[in-house]
Structure 1
Amino acid sequence: MIKRIAISLIFVLLSNPLLAKEVELNPDHPQRYTVKKGDTLWDISGMFLKYPWHWPDIWYVNPQIENPHLIYPGDELSLSYRDGKPVIEVNRGKRSVKLSPEVRETILDKPILTIPLSAIGPFLSKPRVVGDEVLNDAPYVVASADERLISGAGDYVYVRGITDSDSNTYSLFKGGKAYKDPDTGEVLGYEAIYLGDAETMTQGDPAKVSLTYTNREIQIGDRLLKVEDDDFDLNFIPRAPDKPLDGRIISVFDGVSQIGQYQIVVLSLGKRDGLQTGNVLSVYQAGETLKDSVSVDRKDTVTLPDEHAGEAMVFKLYDKVSYAIVMKATRAMHVYDKVKSAQ
C-alpha cells in the first residue's frame, strides 16, 4: 500500500511540474512601493520578484477592497510574510477628490495596465487570424469609382456579398500568408492584413460603400469583415500556464529577422491548447543542426542545445494561435524558435 501511494505521489509530481517552485524575490526588492501613474504590473512584479509571472503566488487579496486584483496610482504595496512565505499587501491610496460645495466625487485615476499600451502599437493596425473559408466567403470589392485601379479614404467602391442589412460598418482586409505549425505542417490560420474601414452607403448587389479610413491601397478583390471589437483588456495577471506547453514562434510583425523586447509575435498555441491571456512562456533559441566535421562519418550531424532567449506574454487568443508580446529578450529570437511554459 505504501509503495502504491509513493508511486501515485511521484506520478502526480511528474505530471504537474509547474506546481512546486519556491517564489524567488528580487535581491534588490523594496519593502514598500507607492504606485505611480505610468507604472505597469509587469514592471512592479519585477521590482519584487525574480520572475514577474510568479506574482499570483505572493499577491494577497484583501476582501475588504473593491476590485482587489486591480492596482491604482497612489496605492502602497508592502512586502510582508505569512507562515514564512512572502506576500504583497496593498493599502489603497486616495483616488478621489471632493469638489466643494458640490456633493460628488471624481475618480482621478484608472488602474495600471499589465503592459504599456504603447508596447502593442504594432498590433493596433488590426491584424486578424482567420480560417481560409472566412476570407473566401466574405464580401469583396468588385469595382471602384471612376474605374480607378486603386482607391483610398474619401472614395467609394462597389461590393458584392453584403447580406446583413443590420450592419453598415466594416473593415477591409487582404489575404496574407498561412500560419503553419512547423512541426506538424498543420495550417493554423491565415493572416488577414488590415487595409482600412468602410460604411455602406446603399444596399444592393453590389452595394455602394464609402471608404472612411485607409492605411493601404484598396483594390478589386479586397475583402470586407465586420468590425472586430479592439477594446483589449490589459488588466490581466501575468502568470505561468496551468500545464506544460510546447510551441513555436511562427510569425513576427514588421517582418524583422531578429526579434527583441516589445515586439509582437504569433505563437502556434491557442485556446485549444489551454493557453490563457496573461500566460507567460519562455522562449528558447532553437539549437542549430550542424555537420560534424570531426566525425569519421562524413554524413554525421550534431544539433546544438536550445538556449534560453527570454519571455513572452500572451495578450490575444484565437483557437489555434495567439499573439504575444516579448517582455524580456536576453538574446536574439527568430521565427521558429521554441516556446515553453515559464517555470
Structure 2
Amino acid sequence: MVALKPLYYSVFGVLLMWVLSVSQPALAVEGLRNDAPQRYEVVPGDTLWDISARYLRSPWQWPSLWQANPQVRNPHLIYPGDVLVLGTCQGQPCLSVERGQGVVKLSPQMRTVPKREAITPIPMEVVRAFLREHRVVEPGESPQELAYVVGGDNQRLISGAGDTLYVRGSVPARTRLGIYHPGEPYVSANGALLGDELINIGEARYLGSEGDIARIEVLSAYQEVRNNDILLPLEDRELSDAFVPRAPLNNVSGQIVAVPGGVRFIGRLQVVALDLGTQDGLQPGHVLRVDQQGELVIDPRTQELLRLPNTEAGLVMVFRPYNHMSYALVMQASRVLAVGDSVHTPTR
C-alpha cells in the first residue's frame, strides 16, 4: 500500500503587478485618485470597471495599468477574496494582487472543490439578457427566416405561451425556434441604413405540418405573438468575459442613433446603438466618450447666435459590434444622455 503524502502547492500564490503606465509616467501619477484605498478586498459582484474606478479617474485606462505576470495564464483574472495593495514600483504607483498560499492534504475520500469564478469586466448579466432579446440583420443580409405566423387557434389574432400557432414555411423538427418581431430600422444621421432590429418575443417547438403550413406550440412568450411575426433558429451567443476596458487605437467619431426599447432618456447600464462598427475599428471592450452639444445663446452685446462648447456627459463601452453599427453599455453618465449625442475616442 502506498501512503498518500501531503501535497503542497500554491493556490495562485503570485503577485500580479498592476502598473499605472510605465510608458506614460505623467499619466500614471495624475490618473491616480486622491482617495484610492491602500488595500481593497475584491467582493462578489465587483467588475474590472468598478475596481479600476476606485483607483483611477479614467477607468477605461485599465490596460495601461496592468503589467502581465508570465507565471499567470490570464493576468486579467481577478477573483473575489483577492486583496489589492497600493504601493510603489520603480518610483510609480502600482497595485499588487495578494492571493492566499495554503497547504492541502489529500485523503482517500471524495472532496468537492468549489469553482472560483473571476470577476467580469462589466455587469455581464445585463449584456446577456439584452442579447437574448435583440439581434440585428445587417444591410444586404438575409435573416435566415424559417417561417412566418399566419394564424392561431380559434381565429386568434394574438397568442401567448401554451397556444398553438400556424406558420408558413419550412420548419425543421428538432431546431430550437425563436419567435421574432421586426423592430425599428437603425438609421444614421445622413439617412443610411445601419441594420434592422429583430426583437425576440418567445420560443416555440414544432408539432407537425401539412405542405408548407406547420403547427407550432408557443413555449414561452415575453410579448404577444401576432400574424407576420417570424421564426428563426435561436442563436447561441457566447459572450467572452475576457475583454477589458480600453480606448480604440484609432480616432473615431459618431453618434448615439437609438435606444433599444424606445427609452427617451438614457442613464447608467442602459444599452445604446451607435453608428460606428467594425469597419470603423471598433471591438468589444472599446470605450467611447459621450459629449452633448452646447446650447445656443445670444451674445448680449453683438446679438450674435453662439454655440457653447460641447460638454462631456458620460462613457459607453462597446460589447457587440456589427459592420456598420454597435451596441454599447452606458458605464458612466454625469448627465442624462439622449439620441444624437456624439461619441468619440476618449482623450488621454
TM-score class, shorter-chain normalisation, is 0.7 to 0.9
**Is 1:215 the equivalent of 2:222?**
yes
Matched, 1:258 2:265: yes
Q: Deviations over 1:318-343 (max 9, x none)?
A: 22111111111111211010001122
Contact 1:282 1:310 in 2 (8 A): yes
| Matching residue within 175, 191, 203 for 1:197 | 203
CA distance in 2, matches of 1:146, 1:253: 34
Structure 2 residue aligned with 1:206: 213
Aligned match of 1:6: none
| Corresponding residue for residue 162 of structure 1 | 170
Amino acid at match of 1:161: G
Alpha-carbon distance in 1 for matches of 2:144, 2:299 = 48
Distance (whole Å) between structure 1 residues aligned to residue 257 and residue 78 of structure 2:
34
Counterpart-to-counterpart distance in 2, 1:32 and 1:291:
51
Asked whether the 8 Å contact 1:290–1:303 carries over to 2, the reply is yes
The alpha carbon displacement at 1:99 in A equals 8.1
Asked whether the 8 Å contact 1:139–1:160 carries over to 2, the reply is: yes
Is 1:95–1:109's contact at 8 Å kept on the other side of the alignment? no
Match of 1:128 in 2: 135
Sequence identity, in percent? 42
Question: Which residue in 2 is equivalent to 1:66?
Answer: 73
Choose which of 91, 94, 104 in structure 2 pairs with 1:87. 94
**Structure 2 match to 1:44:** 51
Asked if structure 1 preserves the Cα contact closer than 8 Å seen for 2:290 and 2:344, the reply is yes
Relative distance call for 1:156 and 1:310 in structure 2 (3 A) is same
Equivalent of 2:148 in 140, 162, 166: 140
1:231-250 → structure 2 map (5 Å cutoff) = 231-250=238-257
3-state DSSP of counterpart to 1:253: coil
Alignment of 1:1-343 (within 5 A): 22-23=27-28, 24-93=31-100, 101-102=108-109, 104=111, 106-117=113-124, 119-120=126-127, 123=130, 126-131=133-138, 134=142, 139-162=147-170, 165=172, 168-182=175-189, 184-203=190-209, 204-289=211-296, 301-343=305-347
Checking the alignment, whether the CA contact within 8 Å between 2:128 and 2:239 is kept in structure 1 is: no
Alpha-carbon spacing, 1:166–1:66, altered in 2? closer, same or farther (3 Å) = farther
Kept after mapping to 1: 8 A contact 2:255/2:340? yes
CA contact (8 A) 2:145 2:232 kept: no
**What secondary structure is seen at the aligned counterpart in 2 of 1:284?**
strand
* Aligned residue type for 1:334: A
SS in 1 for 2:309: coil
Q: Which residue of 1 aligns with 2:5?
A: none
Q: Is the 8 A contact 2:173 2:206 kept in 1?
A: no
Distance 1:265 1:92 in 2: 38
Q: How many Å separate the matches in 1 of 2:169 and 2:302?
A: 63
Q: Is contact 2:293-2:311 (8 Å) kept?
A: yes
- Is the 1:284–1:306 contact (alpha carbons within 8 Å) kept by the matching residues of 2? yes
The CA distance in 1 between the partners of 2:131 and 2:250, in whole Å, is 30
What amino acid sits opposite 2:285 in the alignment? Answer: G
TM-score scaled by length of structure 1: 0.83
Counterpart code for 1:160: R
CA root-mean-square deviation: 2.9
Shift of 1:108: 4.0
Unaligned runs of 5+ in 1: 1-18
Q: TM-score, normalised by structure 2?
A: 0.82
